[in-house]
A = this chain, B = another copy of it.
């Protein structure tokens, strides 16, 4: 089989596929957040992006601080238990330093938008929002009649990013992406996009992928670029590879309170570094070592293999 490889480097993948003014989705629900790819977008100075992300945590705060993003499509504007997103708050509350457009849904609204986008549906019905102010805040949340005689139901529109960027545990060079642990809405977010870039902890042999085809969340044909980028999810985590750097999440709350300190952080950790390897090298070694996890193996299941003699036997 002479299929082409999709493996490239992160700089090339972002340079080729992410352009000013695009709608860019970076997904990962607490897990496998594509921080390295987000930082490369910052480093390359993209502007006027519409950022789609259910939970715009500190990765979104960093992209917005860097001036890459003018519009945010999201459902939860905080960094989990680690507090506020101060750059988002400055912009939304005071237009400081500039206004940020926000298009807001609930979590399930965003999930259904990705499914509608992936399946090219004009809308997706959802049993939320009756009595809420959300449809007043966001006129894209609309109502339709039930043709079977039930009550009206709210619907959300499809979401079709120009580019979706994800991080995963592993992929083969053809682009088959395998993930485990929390999967969020990543499959739908990938299929809904024109272009898909996936950074991975490891590029593995095709035989590894093909030994466990149910683990493939995104098949090769939906993927445009694979980038091997170990540690690419830090300070979020990759199940089975390294744990979340909770301390950094808390630190960002303090760093981002002041816009100049946030910019200085970006200077030191993004602009002044060529990429993720240098970023990991710059981390305090005990800090990175402290995120290592012990083993907990899934165990193997048998997919079976037909014995030639049984083929067509009757």
Contact = CB atoms under 8 A, between A and B. Distances in A.
Interface of A: 119-125, 127, 140, 142-148, 150-151, 153, 155, 157, 169, 180-181, 183, 208, 211-212, 214-215, 239-241, 243, 246-247, 250, 290-307, 309-310, 312-314
A143 B147 contact: yes
A145 to B, nearest CB: 7
Chain A interface mostly helix, strand, loop or mixed? loop
A303 B155 contact: no
Nearest to A142: B147
Contact of A313 (B143, B247, B312): B247
A146 B122 contact: yes
Report, nearest first, the 7 A-B pairs whose CB atoms are least far apart: A293-B304, A247-B314, A240-B302, A212-B298, A142-B147, A240-B304, A296-B305
Nearest to A286: B313
A111 to B, nearest CB: 11
A148 B142 contact: yes
Contact of A125 (B121, B208, B291, B298): B121
Given A147-B143, A313-B247, A240 B180 contact: no
A203 to B, nearest CB: 15
B148 A145 contact: no
B211 A298 contact: yes
Contact of A299 (B150, B155, B208, B306): B208
B313 A302 contact: no
14 contacts: A119-B127, A121-B153, A122-B151, A123-B147, A124-B125, A142-B148, A169-B301, A180-B301, A181-B303, A212-B301, A214-B215, A290-B310, A290-B313, A296-B305
Contacts of A155: 147
Given A120-B127, A122-B150, 20 more contacts: A121-B127, A122-B148, A123-B147, A125-B125, A144-B144, A180-B214, A180-B301, A180-B303, A212-B298, A215-B298, A215-B301, A241-B304, A246-B312, A246-B313, A290-B309, A292-B307, A293-B304, A295-B304, A297-B302, A298-B302
Nearest to A170: B301
B127 A146 contact: no
A135 to B, nearest CB: 11
